[in-house]
Amino acid sequence: MKRAPIFFIVQATVAAMLLSMATVAASAEKKKRENSDVTTESSVDSPKKSSRKARTEAAKPLAKAENRDGQAEARLIDIYKLIGQAKIRDAVQLAESLVRDHPNFQLAQLVYGDLLTAQLRPVRELGDVPDTAAKAAAPRLQELRRESQLRLQALRSRPADGLIPSQFIALSAQNKHAIAVDATKSRLYLFKNSPAGLKLVADYYISLGKSGMEKAAEGDSRTPLGVYFITSNLGRKSLQDFYGSGALPINYPNQLDVKRGKTGGGIWLHGTPSEQFSRAPLATDGCVVLANPDLERIIKTVEIRTTPVVIAQSLKWVDTVTAKADGKSFEEALNGWSSAKSSGNMTKLMAWYSSDFSSYGKKLTDYAPAVQAEVKKLGGRSLQLKDLSYMRWTDSSDTMVVTFGEVAQGARSGQIKRQYWTRQADQWKIFFEGNIR
């Protein structure tokens, strides 16, 4: 069999390592498809069907739908499953098809090369190239091995049905979608919000900052941690090829970041250049980078300004009952603030604000007259909080990011506000408040 050209001296994959991982891939992928409402097309036939048919199907021209989000990874997992079943010839056929359709998918090229090598001799490890080539390409081989591990580990540890990231305590109908990033898994999770609650609809491999997480300063090549929102949508035509299919900027630094003195900006969710299908797990200047088909799905799905993006070192998955219980003490505080504002009692109202409060550069003493003017405008009417959402961020401190429409009783509309609350001892206090539209 004639060998296909392989990128980055990478001409080899899976025998020993993937044989042990393929069983995991098979059961995890089955669970993934059961849990998700995103359909995937498998190139692998049931074990009851003949291997000849599997090879025939692999040789057919692929439908355009195969370039949809998640499809290339699904096909790679199918290859791993065939290896686990010792169907090496079928795996070779599927790998050949995958690299033909995605010649820039370097991990797939690596797998294909190893499968070819395995027909001649035992493969010692993922990326089993000659020693001289392995030494020259050692960093890149290590990155590809890590990418393979992360893709499989994410499938193995998929969240159970009904679980959501703990940060999403309460979302409003305005938050039609939500995104969560788990840095440890190099994974992005896309959710749809409905009256029934959040539902996981897709998840994707991602690349993060080359220096790791918790961005603190301009140029540190780290990805920020926190609760953010998508602020705009930058189309492919307005960007260099480096950013792929487009970009979705987020509001880093958020008000908690500002309070902590963090600097920098330009943190985007964006795609990959045309010569790369995906990037190494830690390879960006701080952005969250996805394969172009995956990013295109997200761009078509999410909404500007109302889609939250949680970026965590490691996501904690909880059921909705637990999430609601976690927000109970905060609900009481928010209701207390709202009642104080409705009553017009400035002393009680200002007690809800932290002494280190700041709103776009204004300290509490400078901001208080604006609060008083709003209270006067209410004229004794009760305050209603429309489309209320709040998300919790916990690290060295406990923070709530709250968004709502502030509408006086009898009014048809009002200002959309965002507040940042922090827990001080046993009390919740506001350290930022401002209009967002």
Contact (CB, 8 A) for 417 and 437: no
Query: Is pLDDT larger for residue 104 or for residue 44?
Result: 104
* Phi, psi dihedrals of residue 146, rounded to the nearest 5°: -65, -40
pLDDT above 50 for 3: no
Contact (CB, 8 A) for 435 and 360: no
Cα 328 to Cα 252: distance, rounded to the nearest angstrom: 28
Cα 207 to Cα 125: distance, rounded to the nearest angstrom: 23
What is the 3-state secondary structure of the chain?
Answer: CCCCCCHHHCCCCCHHHHHHHHHHHHHHHHHHHHHCCCCCCCCCCCCCCCHHHHHHHHHCCCCHHHHCCCHHHHHHHHHHHHHHCCCHHHHHHHHHHHHHHCCCCHHHHHHHHHHHHHCCCCCCCCCCCCHHHHHHCHHHHHHHHHHHHHHHHHHHCCCCCCEEECCCCECCCCCCEEEEEECCCCEEEEEEEECCEEEEEEEEECEEECCCECCCCCCCCCECCEEEEECCCEEHHHCCHHHCCEEEEECCCCHHHHHCCCCCCCCEEECCCCCCCCCCCEEECCCEECCHHHHHHHHHHCCCCCCEEEEECCCCEEEHHHHHHHCHHHHHHHHHHHHHHHHCCHHHHHCCECCCCEECCEEHHHHHHHHHHHHHHHCCCCEEEEEEEEEEEECCCEEEEEEEEEEECCCCCCEEEEEEEEEECCEEEEEEEEECC
Least confident of 46-55, 165-174, 247-256: 46-55
Q: What is the mean pLDDT of residues 240-251?
A: 97
Work out the percent of the chain whose per-residue pLDDT is above 90: 69
Beta bridge partners of 389: 403
Supply the mean pLDDT for the chain.
Answer: 85
Q: Is 16 left (phi over 0), alpha (psi -120 to 50) or beta?
A: alpha
The architecture of the domain spanning 163-318 is Beta Barrel (2.40)
Cα 204 to Cα 363: distance, rounded to the nearest angstrom: 42
**How high is the pLDDT of residue 133?**
66
**How high is the pLDDT of residue 42?**
31
Listed by start position, the domains of the chain span 7-156, 163-318, 327-435
pLDDT above 50 for 60: no
Report pLDDT digits (tens) over 404-430: 999 998 888 889 999 999 999 889 999
**How high is the pLDDT of residue 140?**
87
Q: Which two tokens stand for residue 93?
A: 């056929």
Contact (CB, 8 A) for 80 and 21: yes
Report pLDDT digits (tens) over 213-234: 999 999 999 999 999 999 999 9
CATH 3.60.9.10 fits 327-435, yes or no: no
What pLDDT band is residue 23 in, cutting at 50, 70 and 90? very low
**How high is the pLDDT of residue 132?**
72
Q: What is the mean pLDDT of residues 52-62?
A: 41
Least confident of 1-15, 56-70, 315-329: 1-15
Cα 216 to Cα 264: distance, rounded to the nearest angstrom: 8
What's this model's pTM, rounded to 2 decimal places?
0.85
**How high is the pLDDT of residue 210?**
97
